[in-house]
Structure 1
Amino acid sequence: MKLTIFAATGGVGGQLLTQALDAGHEVTAVVRNPSKISRKEVRVVTADLAAPDRGALESAVDGADAVLSGLGPRSSSEAGIAWRGTQAIVNAMQATSARRLVVISAAPVGTVPSPARPNPPKFDPGDGAFLRHVVYPILKTLLRKYYVDLAQMEDIVRESSLDWTVVRPPQLTDKPLTGSYRVAFEQNLPRGLHISRADVAHFMLRALERADTSRRVVAIAD
Structure 2
Amino acid sequence: MKIALFGGTGPTGRHIIEEALRQGYELSVFTRDAGNLSAFDGKVEVVVGDLNNREAIRACIAGADAVISALGPNSLKARDKRPIMRGVGTIISVMEELKIRRLIQVSTAIYRDPKDAFDLPSQAFVMLFRLIVHNAYDDIRATADLVSKSRLDWTLVRIPNLRDGPATGQLVAGWYGKTKLGTKLSRGNLAQFLVDQLEATVYVRAAPAIADEGSL
Q: TM-score range by the shorter chain?
A: 0.7 to 0.9
Q: Distance in 2 between matches of 1:185 and 1:191?
A: 8
Aligned partner of residue 147 in structure 2, secondary structure: helix
Q: Tell me the number of residue pairs that the alignment of Structure 1 and Structure 2 aligns.
A: 207
Residue 131 to residue 43, structure 1, CA distance change in 2 (3 Å): closer
2:88 to 86, 89, 94: 86
Provide, for residues 111-170 of structure 1, a one-character-per-residue CA deviation record: whole Å limited to 9, x for no partner.
Answer: 9xxxxxxxxx9xx6262x44444x443233223221210111012111211111000001
Give the structure-2-normalised TM-score.
0.87
**C-alpha deviation, 1:195, in angstroms:** 0.6
Could you tell me which residue of structure 2 aligns to residue 36 of structure 1?
36
Residue 108 to residue 157, structure 1, CA distance change in 2 (3 Å): closer
Provide, for residues 163-219 of structure 1, a one-character-per-residue CA deviation record: whole Å limited to 9, x for no partner.
Answer: 110000011111222111000157674342111121111101111122111111111
Could you tell me which residue of structure 1 aligns to residue 26 of structure 2?
26
> Is 1:173 aligned with 2:174?
no
Aligned residue identity for 1:81: P
Could you tell me which residue of structure 2 aligns to residue 184 of structure 1?
174
Aligned partner of residue 107 in structure 1, secondary structure: coil
Could you tell me which residue of structure 2 aligns to residue 156 of structure 1?
146
Could you tell me which residue of structure 1 aligns to residue 78 of structure 2?
77
Q: Distance in 2 between matches of 1:192 and 1:144?
A: 24
Provide, for residues 65-118 of structure 1, a one-character-per-residue CA deviation record: whole Å limited to 9, x for no partner.
Answer: 11000101121216622201100111111111321100001123339xxxxxxx
Could you tell me which residue of structure 2 aligns to residue 210 of structure 1?
200
Q: Which runs of 5+ in 2 are unaligned?
A: none
Give the structure-1-normalised TM-score.
0.85
Residue 33 to residue 60, structure 1, CA distance change in 2 (3 Å): same
1:125 to 111, 114, 117: 117
Q: Which runs of 5+ in 1 are unaligned?
A: 112-120
Residue 89 to residue 10, structure 1, CA distance change in 2 (3 Å): same
Residue 94 to residue 105, structure 1, CA distance change in 2 (3 Å): same
Aligned partner of residue 216 in structure 1, secondary structure: coil
Q: Distance in 2 between matches of 1:172 and 1:188?
A: 21
The CA RMSD measured in Å over matched residues stands at: 2.1
Q: Distance in 1 between matches of 2:178 and 2:129?
A: 16
Aligned residue identity for 2:78: S
Could you tell me which residue of structure 2 aligns to residue 96 of structure 1?
98
**C-alpha deviation, 1:22, in angstroms:** 2.0
Aligned residue identity for 1:143: V
Q: Is the 8 A contact 1:13 1:69 kept in 2?
A: no
The percent of aligned pairs where both chains have the same amino acid is 33
